[in-house]
Structure 1
């Protein structure tokens, strides 16, 4: 997706169009035209998806050993499958192998929020890449989904990612979302208001430590 497409989505969210459709309906997500085999799932999904988020040494060793085997084909098959387990695994694989060509696929998956659980990993991966387009996707997500208090999605994860990237890039995007964050929380009395990036920073440090290994 090019910069003009992202700008048009921003305008749509802001109400600068006469269209009545949700702003992400016209985005085409990356999807496989086939079912993944059991052998593929057993090798490239089952052993990984539940461990994403861990930072222990066994998980680090497992990933560094297998890193050279994680091909673009494996990443694309995971990202294209309509399942949170495969999609978050594909996004995570793209991060540890530093495959930034998948930013648009991951960003569109985040915006469309088609499957549960994967969004937090998308936010983590976009933050780890820290390219301007990653920031755009996170801001667009927050601009829209923070105004939808009945959608209990990945708003906190996206806000943590923006806060983290503000620290790295000396930007101030986090501040512009604070008012909407406060409104969003009004029907969520058990959600923590404060935003912390500690966990996210640990995850990104873990990803970066894997990237350093030759593969």
Structure 2
């Protein structure tokens, strides 16, 4: 992992893409609470940066900490850069840093192909078996259900079947309320993908 305080290249990219108007903090659920001129300014700036950022710059940001990776994932989501699909899947599965899993999910859900659904399913197949590890299982499930709805296929069905891994994880995970319904996470992913669509502008 690269650290901005000791890496001049990464530090410059953080100043350019990550910290303006505390972008890295707003990229997530809080972005849905913006309104008025602040919302318009945020949408415009993120859309512009998603169009300007280079593949090398995205690669460099993905080597940083959670702030850099969260921002990079959103830049990928807005710009629809499919060449980063496998990298996002690898980073999601590795779960090296906190606070960035939902951003990977938004990016994969917005790319929205069967391969993206497969990458989300790979995460669930590993981490639903480990209730002691990971906190992104519900949002990944929400992203998988959302992606499946768009594709016309229920990719989440094997996990959510009676006695399946989802139910086993809900019963065993110490930090999760029993009966957690992924519907709320599906709605969150839907709203965040719609926000990314707005940032991207007309296609």
Category of TM-score, reference length = shorter chain: 0.7 to 0.9
Deviation at 1:155, TM superposition (A): 0.5
Where do residues 47-196 of structure 1 align in structure 2 (5 Å cutoff)? 47=20, 48-53=23-28, 54-55=31-32, 56=34, 57-58=39-40, 59-81=42-64, 83-178=65-160, 179-186=164-171, 187-188=174-175, 190=177, 193-196=180-183
Deviation at 1:65, TM superposition (A): 4.1
CA RMSD of aligned residues (A): 2.2
**2: CA distance between counterparts of 1:168 and 1:185?**
26
**1: CA distance between counterparts of 2:176 and 2:89?**
29
Normalization by structure 1: what TM-score? 0.77
Structure 2 gap segments, 5+ residues each: none
Q: Which moved more, 1:116-125 or 1:183-192?
A: 183-192
Residues paired across the two proteins, number: 183
- Whether 1:212 aligns to 2:201 is yes
Structure 1 gap segments, 5+ residues each: 1-30
Runs in 1 of length 4+ with deviation above 4 angstroms? 31-34
**2: CA distance between counterparts of 1:189 and 1:88?**
24
Is contact 1:159-1:174 (8 Å) kept?
yes
The corresponding residue for 1:38 is 11
Deviation at 1:132, TM superposition (A): 2.1
